[in-house]
């Protein structure tokens, strides 16, 4: 095969697949060389993006067209940011000498990237499940029994989402709507299939009441695992919604609820990584609303938000991961005063906090402004006010609570040995540093980000009116926080469990289900007992008939009688069957 | 390994830090009020054109979120070991 042939084949290979292939070799490569290997695989996969727009790999089988590599204006920003997130993870986890987490982490990122390039629902289903099966190892790696249980619940929910997707694809194919992954029509053929696909996407996008898995599982993963988890699964769902359901009004309602509800849970949650998981849910809400509006400006808002969100959310999870790695806990009630011990992590955390809170000159501002403007133009006032309210909520839990309780709050006496090696490991600091620079870089120079969005726009977030309005919202909300703290009105952090929608299947379903199962089991047992009685009686009868002639005196008449009865029965059965 | 006791020296430093930060924030807030009129701030929706609307909305939303969260504790807060039992 000549080199041109290889080049042609590589250009048709869906991006991400090369990362999955490279992951297979990860266990056999020694520690630091492994990080270089993984970066090379990510770079090679990213090079595959240069093939450009179009359908590059279509496989026709069983009368269907499976589009394994489709690239267009919507896939590019997601593919780019997924590669960036995967590379950041390699740096962040460089201190980890074991291969057990690196391998699934690289494969997971690869599966998510391949999923973005799937042009039909069956290929999408394949990668959709691949992200579930690979990512579950990041939760299992924590090694605790809590993590194991959470991982199994996570896997069940994720696989269920995939099954719904496949069922939806089957209905659509059967009804003649085809399996191509394009915008769906709720009123077209195979409407049930469309609903199934919508539900599948809704689970991964953590819609209200379908979100329990997110806050349940993510905070149970390892310090490095949660960072990887935060980037891919949910944003893949946002991509899928933007592709399949742009302009679906229902999404504005769903998204608005997603922005507002987690805010209240995050206020009282004690585990700071779980606070970030609620915050992640709230951020997804902004993107879902934007997809629901569906105008070019709004879709740009959703994509830009997903792009910058992956960076600053990873940065926040990284900073809490560094705290977890050094101190061994991220419980707000047990932390405080860490700014002296981990100043670099603290600064990075605050940059992430200011980005997610959408301070001007930080990346969140330039992305969220698109969605807010699109919402303003569409004239949906109630949703606009809900999102503005949720923006104050973001400031509360991610902007203030995370950095405040981890690094300030009060001076906690830590064991000196904890920080003997300095603060976070070098790899973690490199990853946090790059992410922090990206947060500021995109915030100050949004033009490159705007240039890769699906629709060409002429939009400037930095007009005086807009900046002053946003600063007022944030600064006066911060003053409210300071007032509440000063007057002792801010509720203290309490070690506790905050109930979420996973309660329905972790507590309610077992409570209702167990008695029902017990009742069914006891009915079944007594039924089996009765059957066993009949069976024994029948055997006794057979025994008596069969043994009596042998043990007793031989009576020819009885043998004839038994044969006659048997023949009669066979005859009767024969007539019944024939008749 | 979970640290529990607090460090008095850090506490004092934190209080100084807190005071300075509060002063800075109040200063920014004071500057933002006249900027409201100099920049002719206007919103995406008509309601936002009310003078100092974002400041008032942000302040009230924040207080509401904290108090609503506090009230919500009665309903959805359980012991840390709730699911382990």
Q: ipTM of this model?
A: 0.92
Q: Please, which residues bridge with residue B6 across strands? A: A412
Task: Provide the 10 A C-beta neighbour count for residue A97.
Answer: 10
Q: Render pLDDT for B19-66 as a digit per residue (tens, 0 to 9).
A: 999 999 999 999 999 988 888 888 888 888 888 899 999 999 999 999
More confident residue, A13 or A319: A319
A-chain CB neighbours of B53 within 8 Å are: 469
Q: What distance lies between CA A512 and its chain's CA centroid? A: 28
Cross-chain CB nearest to A498 (options B26, B43, B77): B77
Per the rule left: phi > 0, alpha: psi between -120 and 50, beta: everything else, A393 is alpha
Distance in Å, alpha carbon of B34 to nearest chain A alpha carbon: 10
A352 close to A227: Cβ distance less than 8 angstroms: no
User: What is the structure's pLDDT at A469?
Assistant: 92
- The residue of chain B nearest to residue A466, with distances taken between CA atoms, is B41
**Does residue A549 surpass a pLDDT of 70?**
no
Taking an 8 Å cut-off on Cβ atoms, the answer to whether A334 and B2 are in contact is yes
Structure tokens at A97: 């000498």
pLDDT at A4 over 60: no
Flag whether pLDDT at A556 surpasses 70.
no
Beta carbon pairs, A and B, within 8 Å: 199
Which residue, A310, A466, A483, A442, is CA-closest to A388? A466
The phi, psi pair for A506, rounded to 5°, reads -90, -25
| Closest partner CB to A392 (pick from B43, B62, B81) | B62
Yes or no, beta carbons of B44 and A375 under 8 Å apart:
yes
| Min distance B59 CA to chain A CA atoms (Å) | 4
Confidence of residue A135 (pLDDT cuts 50, 70, 90): very high
Interhelix angle A296-327/A426-444, rounded to 10 degrees, is 150
Tell me: pLDDT of A560 over 80. no
Dihedral of CA atoms B7, B8, B12, B13 in degrees, nearest 10, equals: -30
Which residues of chain B are within 8 Å of residue A495 when distances are taken between CB atoms?
A: 80
> Which of B43, B51, B63, B69 is the best residue to mutate to test the A interface, defined by the most A CB atoms within 10 Å of its own CB?
B69
Quickly count: other Cβ atoms within 10 Å of residue A240's Cβ: 25
**Are A397 and A267 spatial neighbours (Cβ–Cβ below 8 Å)?**
yes
Retrieve residue B40's tokens.
């002719």
Q: Give the closest-approach CA distance of B50 to chain A in angstroms.
A: 11
Report the pLDDT value the prediction gives residue A2, as an integer from 0 to 100.
47
Interface probe, candidates B33, B40, B58, B66, chain A, greatest A C-beta count within 10 A: B58
Question: Of A331, A469, A477, which has the smallest distance from its Cβ to B61's Cβ?
Answer: A477
Q: Give CA–CA dist A524/A528, Å, rounded.
A: 6
Strands A54-61 and A497-498 turn out to be unpaired
Residue A323 has pLDDT above 60, yes or no: yes
For residue A150, pLDDT over 80 is answered with: yes
Burial A523-562 (b: 16+ CB within 10 A, else e): eeeeeeeeeeeeeeeeeeeeeeeeeeeeeeeeeeeeeeee
Quote the strand ranges of A52-147, DSSP E: 54-61, 64-71
Residues of A in contact with B66 (CB under 8 A): 267, 396, 480-481, 484, 489-491
Q: How confident is the model at residue A558 (pLDDT cuts 50, 70, 90)?
A: low
Residues A40-85 pLDDT 10s:
999 999 998 888 888 878 888 888 889 899 999 999 999 999 999 9
Residue in A519, A542, A208, A191 with CA at minimum distance from that of residue A386: A208
Residues of B in contact with A389 (CB under 8 A): 57, 61
Confidence at residue B1, expressed as pLDDT on a 0 to 100 scale = 43
Query: If you average pLDDT over residues A360-386, what whole number do you get?
Result: 93
List alpha helices for A341-425, DSSP H: 343-356, 363-378, 381-394, 402-407
Kind of pairing, strands A54-61 and B77-78? unpaired
Per the structure block, which two tokens stand in for A256? 């608005």
- Spell out which residues of chain B touch residue A471, defining contact as CB-CB under 8 Å: 28, 32
pLDDT (mean) for A135-161 = 94
Note the pLDDT of residue A316.
97
**Range name among A152-166, A474-488, A537-551 with the lowest pLDDT average:** A537-551
Average pLDDT over residues A100-123: 95
Section A530-540 average pLDDT: 92
Across residues A367-381, what is the average pLDDT?
Answer: 92
Quick one: pLDDT at residue A495?
A: 85
CB-CB under 8 Å, A496 with B25: no
| Contacts A412 to B, Cβ<8 Å | 3-7, 10
Q: Are A96 and A102 in contact (CB under 8 A)?
A: yes
Given a cut of 70, whether residue A539 has pLDDT beyond it is: yes
**CA A260 – CA A238 distance, rounded (Å):** 18
Q: Please report the pLDDT score of residue A214 as a whole number.
A: 94
A272 vs A488, more confident = A272
Mean of pLDDT values over A322-334? 91
Distance from CA of B49 to the nearest CA of A (A): 10
Residues A316-339, mean pLDDT to the nearest whole number: 92
> A350 CA to chain B: closest CA distance, Å?
14
- Closest by CA position to A502, among listed A218, A279, A237: A218
Chain A partners of B2 at a C-beta cutoff of 8 Å? 328-329, 331, 334
- Chain B residues touching A301 at Cβ < 8 A: none
């Amino acid at each position: 095969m000549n080199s041109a042939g290889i080049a042609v084949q590589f250009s048709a290979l869906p991006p991400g697949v090369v990362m999955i292939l490279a992951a297979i070799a990860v266990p056999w490569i020694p520690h630091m060389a492994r990080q270089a290997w993984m970066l090379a695989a990510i770079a090679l996969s990213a090079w595959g993006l240069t093939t450009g727009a179009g359908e590059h790999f279509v496989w026709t089988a069983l009368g269907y067209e499976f589009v394994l590599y489709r690239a267009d204006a919507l896939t590019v920003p997601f593919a780019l940011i997924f590669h960036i997130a995967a590379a950041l993870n390699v740096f962040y986890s460089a201190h980890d000498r074991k291969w057990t987490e690196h391998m699934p982490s690289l494969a997971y990122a690869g599966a998510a990237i391949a999923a973005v390039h799937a042009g039909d629902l069956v290929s999408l289903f394949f990668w959709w499940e691949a992200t579930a099966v690979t990512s579950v190892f990041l939760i299992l790696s924590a090694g605790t029994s809590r993590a194991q249980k959470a991982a199994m619940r996570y896997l069940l929910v994720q696989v269920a989402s995939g099954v719904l997707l496949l069922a939806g694809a089957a209905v659509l194919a059967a009804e003649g709507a085809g399996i191509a992954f394009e915008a769906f029509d709720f009123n077209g053929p195979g409407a049930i299939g469309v609903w199934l696909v919508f539900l599948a996407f809704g689970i991964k996008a953590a819609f209200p009441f379908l979100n329990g898995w997110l806050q349940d599982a993510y905070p149970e993963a390892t310090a490095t695992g949660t960072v990887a988890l935060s980037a891919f699964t949910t944003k893949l769902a946002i991509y899928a919604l933007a592709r399949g359901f742009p302009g679906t009004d229902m999404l504005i309602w769903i998204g608005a609820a997603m922005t507002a509800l987690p805010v209240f849970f995050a206020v009282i949650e004690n585990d700071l990584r779980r606070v970030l998981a609620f915050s992640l849910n709230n951020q997804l809400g902004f993107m879902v609303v934007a997809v629901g509006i569906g105008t070019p400006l709004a879709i740009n808002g959703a994509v830009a938000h997903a792009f910058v969100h992956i960076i600053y959310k990873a940065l926040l999870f990284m900073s809490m991961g560094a705290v977890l790695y050094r101190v061994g806990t991220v419980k707000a009630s047990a932390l405080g005063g860490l700014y002296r011990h981990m100043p670099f992590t603290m600064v990075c955390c605050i940059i992430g906090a200011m980005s997610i809170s959408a301070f001007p000159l930080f990346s969140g501002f330039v992305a969220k402004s698109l969605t807010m403007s699109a919402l303003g133009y569409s004239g949906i006032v109630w949703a606009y006010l809900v999102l503005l309210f949720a923006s104050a909520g973001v400031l509360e839990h991610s902007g203030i609570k995370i950095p405040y309780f981890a690094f300030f709050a009060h001076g906690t006496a830590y064991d000196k040995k904890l920080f003997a090696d300095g603060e976070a490991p070098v790899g973690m600091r490199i990853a946090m540093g790059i992410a922090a620079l990206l947060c500021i870089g995109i915030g100050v120079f949004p033009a490159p980000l705007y240039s890769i969005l699906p629709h060409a726009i002429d939009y400037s977030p930095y007009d005086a009116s807009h900046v002053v309005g946003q600063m007022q919202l944030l600064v006066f909300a911060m003053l409210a926080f300071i007032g509440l703290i000063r007057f002792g009105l801010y509720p203290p952090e309490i070690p506790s469990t905050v109930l979420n929608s996973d309660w329905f299947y972790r507590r309610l379903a077992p409570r209702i289900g167990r008695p029902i199962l017990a009742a069914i089991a006891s009915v079944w047992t007594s039924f089996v007992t009765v059957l066993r009685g009949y069976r024994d009686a029948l055997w006794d009868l057979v025994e008596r008939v069969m043994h009596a002639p042998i043990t007793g005196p031989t009576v020819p008449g009885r043998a004839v009688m038994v044969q006659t009865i048997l023949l009669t029965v066979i005859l009767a059965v024969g007539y019944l069957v024939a008749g | 390994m979970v640290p529990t006791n607090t460090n008095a020296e850090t506490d004092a430093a934190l209080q100084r830090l807190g005071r300075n930060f509060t002063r800075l924030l109040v200063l920014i807030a004071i500057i933002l009020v006249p900027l409201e009129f100099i920049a002719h701030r206007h919103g995406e929706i008509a309601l936002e054109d009310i003078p100092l609307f974002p400041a008032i909305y942000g302040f009230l939303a924040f207080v509401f979120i904290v108090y609503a969260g506090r009230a919500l504790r009665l309903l959805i807060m359980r012991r840390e070991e709730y699911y382990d039992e």
